[in-house]
Amino acid sequence: MKSSRTLGLVMIAPAAVMIVLFFLMPVVLTAVFSMTNMTTATGISGGVYQIAPNSLITLKSAMPEIAAEMAEPRYTIDEAGLKAVEGLGLAPAIAAELRAKHAGEVFATRRDVERMIKDLTERPSTREVKQISEQFNRSVLNTRFDSKEQLFSSLDGLGFKLTPEQKETVAKTTYTGWTWTTDNFSRMASSPDMARVLFNTVLYVALVLMLFNVGYALLLAIWTHYMPPTRASIFRGIWLLPRITPVVIYVMLWKWLAWDSGFISILMGRFGYPPKNYLLDTAYNAWFFVVLINGFIGASMGMLVFSSAMKAIPKSQFYASEVDGASRWQQIRYIILPQMRWPILFVTCYQTLSLLASFNEILLATNGGPGNATEVWALSAYHTALRNYAGNLEYGLGAAMALVLVVIGVVLSLLYLRVFNYGTLVAKPLIED
Amino acid sequence: MTILPTLKSLTIAAAILASTSAFALAKDVTISVWAGGTGPNDTYRLDAIEIAAQQLQREAALKGEDLKITVEKKPYSAWEDFKQALTLAAEAKTAPNIVVSGHEDIAPWSQSGLIVPIEDYVDLDSWPLNGIYENLLKIASYNGTVYGIPQDAESRPMFFWKPYMKAIGYSDADLDALPQNVQDGKYTMKNLLEDAKKMQDRGLVQPGYGFYPRTSNGPDYWQFYTSFGGTMEEGGKLVFDKAAMTRTYQFFADAVKSGVTKKNHIGMPGDQWWKEVATGKAGIWDGGTWHYARLVNQEGLTDFFGNVIFTLIPAGEGGKANTLTHPLVYLLTAGHDKEETDIAAQLITIASEPRINALHAVKSAHLGISEAESEVDFYSADRWTREATERLLPHANAMPNNSDFGTYWNIMWKNLEASWTGAKTVDAAIGDAESELKSTLGDKIVIR
C-alpha cells in the first residue's frame, strides 16, 4: 500500500509544482507587494542611493548646511584626476595640456568643464570628453550608488563630516527604491473612493448573481425542461452564444447598440428623440448595461448546471404529480426547487467568486465610467497597478487591493464549504486501504 | 616540402586573418524604438530614427567602419497600453533602446533607473542640439540633468467654429481680434460658456455640443486649472490650489448644468468626437495643435482656416490665458550595452536636425524644436505650423517633471470626472481630492 501512496505522490508532483508556481506564488507575491510602496517611480527590482536636487529639498529641513554643501556640483582639475586621465589610454597631449593650463581650476557644472576640454588643442571626441570630465567629478550630486556603503565612502572621500545618524538620514532621503509599509491598507481604509468602489462591487456581484446567474438561469432551465428536446437544445445553444463569443466582439456589439450613433439612437431618432450615448448617459444606464452584458454571459453556466440537475430528477415524480392533478407551478414549487438546493448553492458559490474577480467586460464597456460609477474593485486594482494615462503605476497599492479580493474569496469559499457541508460530500468511502 | 605548399598555407592563413579583421570592423547593431500616442500622422517619430541610421552608416563608412544598423520600430496608438508595456518591459530588462514618450515620464523613469541621462552620451553644445529651444530642453531635464531630447513641441489651443460665431453676432473683424482678446484677458471662460449657450439657443448646434472638450483624461485639463489661477509646482514641490481647483471643477459642472456640455461626454468613442468637430457639429472645443493634421488629413475638413479659428485657452476667474506644451522626448533606456546606447544617442542627435524634424512637424502638425527649423522653408511655408508657433508657443507652460506628479494627476482627474458627471458635488470632490492627496503624498504637496 505504501508503494501506491508514493506512486500517487509522484504522479501528483507535476500538478503540485504547477499549483505552487501559478496558484500559490501569485498570491504570496501579491501579499509581499501589498506591504510595499512600490510604484513606477520606485521600480520593482529595488533602488539605489542618489543625492539629487529633488531629495535635497527634503534633506534641507533636517540639515540645511550639509544639504547646501551637497548641492554644489564641483569639477576640480586635480592631480588624482589628471593621473586617471593618463590611465584612459587617450592621446598623451590631452593630459599634458590639462596639467599645464588648467591644474587647480574648479568648474561649477559638467557642461562648463566639458566646454574647457573641447577647447584643448587635441580636441577629443564627444565620448572621450565625457570620459575625461568624469575623472574630475568631485561631487556626489546625481551620482547613483548601489549601496549605502558606497554612498558613505563617497561622502567620506569628499570630506563630509557626518555622524552615523546623519548618514542614515541622508541614506533614507536619497533612497530611490521601495520600502516596506502598511500605508496601502490605511489608505484603503480612509479613502472615500475605496468605500464607493467596494459598494459598487457588492452591488455588481449581487445584481448579476441574483438577476441572471442564478435567477434567470433557473428560469431558462425550467423553460427548457418543459420544451421538446430539440427545441430545448436550440434554445440552450442560443444562450451559450454570449459565453462563446470573444468578449471584445461581444462588448463591441453592445456598444454599437447603445452609443450615440448606435441602434437604439437610430431607432429612437425615428420617434424624434435626439441621439445620445445610452451606455454612458447616466450612472443608472451604465449599471443597467453592465449588469445585462455580464448577466447574459453568466446565465448560461447556471442554465446548463440546472438543466442537467433537473434531468436527474426521476421522471416518475412528474408522472405521479400529474396524475394527482398538480399544476406546472406546483411541480416547480414542490418537486423541482427542493431538489435544486445543491446546484443553486454550487452556482451561487462559483459565480460569486468569478464575479468578484471579473472586470474585463466592464473595462471594455464603460471603463468604470461615467465618473467612476461602475468602477468595481478588481477593475480599480487593475487601473491602480497596471493601467492609467499618467503612467503612474502603483504596484503596491494595486497589490493590496488585489489581496483584499483574495481574502474575501478565501473567506467566502470557506463559508460556502461550510454551507455545502463539504464533509458529507467527500465522506470517506467505506472501503479503506 | 617545397616552397609552394608553404606559400599556399601562408596565403590561406593571411586570408583567414584578413577576413577576421574585416569581421572585427563589421558591426551589426539593432536599435529598437517605441513611440506612444502615435497615429498615422506621427510616423516620423520612428522613421526619423531610420533616416538617421542611414546617415550614421554613411559616416561610419567614411571612417572605414562597416556599421550596419537595423531599426526596429513599434508605434503604440494609445498611451495607457504604451506606458504599461514599456514599464513592464523595462522591469523585465527587455526595454527598447529608444523610447518616445511624454516629458512627464522622465521623473519617475529616471528615479527608478529605467532611463539614462542623454547628456552622458551627446554633446549639447554642438549642432543640432545647441539650437534646440532652451525652454524645451529644460522640460526634457530633471534634477538639473538633461535626460531627453525634445522630439516635438505643441500647444493646446481652443478652437471655435467660425460660421457659428458669425451667426451669433461676431463680425469678421471681431473674429480676427479674438486671439488677441483672449490673450489680453478680454474674452474669458465666462464669455466662452455664454457663446456656447447662444449657439445652442439659436439651434446652430444640438444641446451638449456648444462646448465640446476632450473626451478623455489628458494634459489639456491642467490648462483649465492654470486658467483659473492654479499652479502645479513651486520650488520643486507640487501645489494643490484648492480655490483654483474648485473653480476648475465648477466650470465643467456649470457647463454640464447649463447644458452646453454633455454629462456623458467623458468616455465617448474618440472617432465619433473627431467626426463631429470636423463637420461643425460642435461649436467650441479644445485640442492639440496636432489636431490640425487629423482634421485635414483624415476627417476631410479641407477648408480649415475658413471654418475654424484658434486661440489660447481663455482666462478664467483668478487666472490668465494660457496653453500647455507637452513635448514628446527621445529617451535612452537603461540596461543596454554602452556602445549600443551610444549609437542610439547619435541617432537621436541626427534625427533632431531641422530638416528631418520638420518632416514630423509638418506631417503631424506639431511645432518645431529649434529656431533653425522655423527657418527651413518647408516648415515656414506651412501656414498652420507658422501661425500656431507665433500665436501659442510664447505663452506655453508645461507640466512639472516630478516623480509624484502622476499620483497628483490621477487624483485630480478622478475627482474632476466625478464632479463633471454629478457623481460627487464639486465641494465633495475637492474634499476627497484633498484628503487623498494628504494621505498619499504627505508633505510632498503643498495644499493651500
- Does A392 sit within 8 Å of B410, measured CB to CB? yes
Higher local confidence (pLDDT), B444 or B348: B348
Structural contact between residues B354 and B368, judged by C-beta atoms closer than 8 angstroms: yes
Residue A414: CB atoms within 10 A of its CB come to: 11
Do B199 and B282 lie in a common domain?
yes
Residues of A in contact with B417 (CB under 8 A): 369-372
By three-state DSSP, how is residue A31 classified? helix
R_g (Cα) of chain A, nearest Å: 34
Q: Do B403 and A48 touch (CB under 8 A)?
A: no
Give the residue among B157, B150, B156, B101 at the shortest CA–CA distance from B357: B150
Cβ-based contacts of B83 with chain A (< 8 Å): 391, 393
Q: For a pLDDT cut of 70, what percent of chain A falls above it? A: 97
Which one of A193, A264, A386 makes the best mutation probe of the B interface by having the most chain B beta carbons within 10 Å? A193
Contact B200, B259 (CB under 8 A): yes
CB-nearest to B91 from A44, A110, A260 is: A44
DSSP-assigned letter for residue B131: G
Long-range CB pairs of A311-319 (<8 Å, 24+ gap) are: A313/A339
Q: Rounded CA gap, B218 and A245, in Å?
A: 33
pLDDT of residue B381: 93
Mean pLDDT calculated for residue range B298-323? 96
Quick check: B403 and A41 CB within 8 A? yes
**Closest-CA residue of chain B to A51:** B143
pLDDT by position in tens, chain A (length 433): 567 788 888 988 999 999 999 999 999 999 999 999 999 999 998 899 999 888 888 888 888 888 888 887 789 999 999 999 999 989 899 999 999 999 999 998 888 999 999 999 988 988 899 999 999 998 888 889 999 999 999 998 888 888 999 999 999 999 999 999 999 999 999 888 899 999 999 999 999 999 999 999 999 999 999 999 899 999 999 999 998 999 999 999 999 999 888 899 999 999 998 888 899 888 999 999 999 999 999 999 999 999 999 999 999 999 999 899 998 899 999 999 988 988 998 899 899 999 999 999 999 999 998 888 999 999 999 999 999 888 889 999 999 999 999 999 999 988 888 877 766 666 666 665 5
Same domain, B423 and B352: no
- Write down the ipTM of this complex: 0.89
Q: Are A122 and A97 in contact (CB under 8 A)?
A: yes
Inspect the interface and report whether the beta carbons of A371 and B417 lie closer than 8 Å: yes
**Which residue among A54, A126, A192 places its CB closest to the CB of B143?**
A54
pLDDT at site B6: 57
**Chain A / chain B CB contacts < 8 angstroms:** 175
Three-class DSSP labels, A98-127: HHHHHCCCEECCHHHHHHHHHCCCCCCCHH
Which of the residues A33, A37, A39, A40 would you substitute to probe the B interface, choosing the one with the greatest number of B C-beta atoms within 10 Å?
A: A40
Chain A residues inside the 8 Å CB shell of B432: 191-193
Range of the domain at B316: 158-324+404-447
The chain A residue lying nearest B342, using CA atoms, is A127
pLDDT at position B356: 97
Contact between chains at A369 and B403 (C-beta distance less than 8 A): no
Is B87 in Cβ contact with A391 (below 8 Å)? yes
All 3 cell numbers of residue B126? 554642438
Together in a domain, B258 and B339? no
A125 touches chain B (CB under 8 A): no
Chain B neighbors of A44, CB-CB under 8 A: 91
Spatial contact of B356 and B107, defined as CB atoms under 8 Å apart: no
Q: In chain A, positions 348-367, which contact chain B (CB-CB < 8 Å)?
A: 366-367
Tell me, yes or no, whether B191 lies in a domain.
yes
B135 and B183 in a single domain? The answer is: no
B335 located within any domain: yes
Residues of B in contact with A387 (CB under 8 A): 80-81, 84
Q: What is the pLDDT of residue A5?
A: 80
pLDDT digits (tens, 9 = 90+) for A233-264: 999 999 999 989 999 999 999 999 998 888 99
- Its sign, for the CA torsion A185, A190, A194, A200, is positive
Which of A29, A389, A397 best probes binding to B when mutated, by most B CB atoms within 10 angstroms? A389
Pairwise CB contact (< 8 Å): B417 & A369: yes
State the CB neighbour count (10 A cutoff) for residue B442. Answer: 10
Q: Do B267 and A280 touch (CB under 8 A)?
A: yes
Contact with chain B for residue A280, Cβ under 8 A: yes
Residue A111, chain B, CB below 8 Å: the answer is yes
- A424 at B interface, C-beta within 8 A: no
Ramachandran region of residue A213, left (φ > 0), alpha (ψ -120 to 50) or beta?
alpha
Q: At what angle do helices B426-441 and B242-257 cross, to 10 degrees?
A: 140
Cis peptide before A26 (omega within 30 of 0): no
Query: Residue B389: which residues within 8 A CB-CB, separation 6 or more?
Result: B367, B368, B374
Chain B residues in contact with A283 (beta carbon < 8 A): 421, 423
The answer to whether B322 and B312 have CB atoms below 8 angstroms apart is yes
- Let me know whether B169 and B306 are in one domain: yes
Burial of residue A295, with CB atoms counted within 10 A of its CB: 0-12 exposed, 13-18 middle, 19 or more buried: buried
Residue of chain A with shortest Cα separation from B234: A57
HSE-CB at A242 with a 13 A cutoff on CA atoms is 18
Contact B439 A111 (CB under 8 A): no
Cβ B432–A192 below 8 Å, yes or no? yes
CA distance to partner chain B, nearest, from residue A288 (Å): 15
- Do residues B389 and B273 both lie within one domain? no
> A-chain residues within 8 Å CB-CB of B37?
none
What does the pLDDT read at residue A375? 95
Q: Is residue B256 part of a domain?
A: yes
Residues B406, A282: C-beta atoms closer than 8 Å: no
Domain count, chain B: 2
Contact call for B266 and A370, based on CB within 8 A: yes
Domain identity same for B187 and B242: yes
Instruction: Identify whether residues B314 and B415 lie together within a single domain.
Output: yes
Of B112, B217, B424, the CB nearest to A176: B112
Cis omega (within 30 of 0) on the bond before A370?
Answer: yes
Within a domain: B130? yes
Same domain, B170 and B286: yes
Domains of chain A: 49-174 (no CATH), 186-424 (1.10.3720.10)
For the stretch B116-169, pLDDT in tens is 999 999 999 999 999 999 999 999 999 889 999 999 999 999 999 999 999 999
Residue B9 has pLDDT above 80, yes or no: no
Q: CB distance A371–B87 less than 8 Å?
A: no
Are residues A389 and B404, on separate chains, in Cβ contact within 8 Å?
A: no
How confident is residue B225, by pLDDT bands cut at 50, 70 and 90?
very high
Using one digit for the tens of pLDDT, what is the confidence trace for B228-248?
A: 999 999 988 999 999 999 999
Say if residue B125 is in the same domain as residue B181. Answer: no
pLDDT at position A431 is: 60
Residue B8 C-alpha, separation from nearest chain A C-alpha, in angstroms: 39
Whether B1 is covered by a domain: the verdict is no
Give the mean pLDDT of B48-56. Answer: 98
Backbone angles phi, psi at B308, to 5 degrees: -125, 140
CATH number, domain containing residue B370: 3.40.190.10
Residue A392: list chain B partners with CB under 8 A: 108, 405-407, 409-410
Chosen for mutation from B83, B142, B256, B332 (greatest number of chain A CBs closer than 10 Å) is B83
**Chain B residues closer than 8 Å to A43 by CB:** 91, 111-114
Chain-chain contact of B108 with A391 (C-beta, under 8 angstroms)? yes
Quote the radius of gyration of chain B (alpha carbons, Å). Answer: 26
- At B174, is the pLDDT very low, low, confident or very high (cuts 50, 70, 90)? very high
Residue B51's CB: how many other CB atoms inside 10 A?
18
Are residues B135 and B39 part of one domain? yes
Chain A residue with the nearest C-alpha to that of B264 = A281
Q: Terminus-to-terminus CA distance in chain A, angstroms?
A: 7
Distance CA A20, CA A26 (A): 9
Which residues of chain A have a CB within 8 Å of the CB of B422? 371
Contacts of B80 in chain A (CB under 8 A): 387-389
In this predicted structure, the answer to whether residue B214 has a pLDDT above a threshold of 70 is yes
Q: Do A52 and B143 touch (CB under 8 A)?
A: yes
Residue B23 has pLDDT above 50, yes or no: no
Whole-angstrom Cα distance, residue B408 to residue B232? 10
Q: What is the pLDDT of residue B269?
A: 81
For residue range A208-229, what is the model confidence (pLDDT) as tens digits?
999 999 999 999 999 999 999 8
Distance from C-alpha of A203 to C-alpha of A211, rounded to nearest angstrom: 12
Whether B177 and B44 share a structural domain:
no
pLDDT beyond 60 at B21: no
Task: Look at residue B438 and tell me whether its pLDDT is greater than 70.
Answer: yes
Q: Do B264 and A261 touch (CB under 8 A)?
A: no
Q: Which residues of A fall within a CB distance of 8 Å from B104?
A: 390-391
Chain B residue with the nearest C-alpha to that of A363: B267
A48 touches chain B (CB under 8 A): yes
In chain B, which residues have their Cβ closer than 8 Å to the Cβ of A280?
Answer: 264, 266-268
Q: Are residues A40 and B112, on separate chains, in Cβ contact within 8 Å?
A: yes
Residue with cell 478588481: A378
